[in-house]
Amino acid sequence: MTNRSLVLFTVALLCAPVALRAQDARLDARLDARTRDAVVALIDSARAEGIPSEPLVQKALEGASKHADGPRILTAVRLLAGELGDARAALGPSSTDAEVIAGASALHAGIAPAALSRMRASRTHGSLTVALAVLSDLIARGVPGDTATTVISALTGAGAPDAELLRFQQGVERDIAQGATPAAALGVRAKSAFPSAAPLRTP
């Protein structure tokens, strides 16, 4: 090993634990030792697979703040790590952490990984974060998954900017709050977004 690479190696060795330790500090303060060790191990292997670790740390801290027991926290972190991994696989290695996080919530809501991949393929530039987050929220509001996916995919495929997606979602929410069924609300909104398209069938 040359001197230079030795120096670099040493520096790298010294730097890595600092990042780990920062996270440890937050987890140390709030988790019991056994849970913390298990969570840290999970996070380490997640990070090794390119999965963003911050949401996992936050999930553990959330559990701690809500006084959940260790096993429940661990299960939650493991589940989230799995969803994040699936999201990364579906969205591709060049996806950002924010996209992966939003993608994981979409998967959790029941969207198929293939749908995520299709959205990635259709969105040639720009982030999918807002689109995926809007999709998750629509489904949480009761819009049928297929319908929501179709509409959001169509919007992103047509190049709708994030602002428009957010306005779309707010519009649907207002409609639902005023008594529309979620599917009808989506249908109405989709109609106004595509005035020339055939109206969506509402079940």
Give me the residues that bind another protein (CB under 8 A), please.
Answer: 26, 55, 58-59, 61-66, 68, 72-73, 75-76, 79-80, 97-98, 101-102, 105, 108-109, 125-127, 129-130, 132-134, 136-137, 139-141, 159, 161-163, 166, 169-171, 173-175, 177-181, 184-185, 187-188, 191-192, 195, 199-202
Min dist CB 154 to another protein, Å, is 16
CA distances in angstroms from 107 to 33, 75, 175, listed in the order given = 31, 17, 25
Q: Which residues contact 119 (CB under 8 A, 6 or more apart)?
A: 128, 131, 132, 152, 153, 156, 157
CB atoms within 10 A of CB 202: 14
- Taking the complex as a whole, the smallest distance from the CB of residue 135 to another protein amounts, in Å, to 10
Cβ nearer to another protein, comparing 98 with 117: 98
Smaller CB distance to another protein: residue 4 or 125? 125
Q: Cβ of residue 133: shortest distance to another protein, in angstroms?
A: 4
Closest approach of Cβ 202 to another protein, in Å?
6
Q: Please state whether 151 falls in left (phi above 0), alpha (psi between -120 and 50) or beta.
A: alpha
How far is 30 from 181, CA to CA, in rounded Å?
A: 42
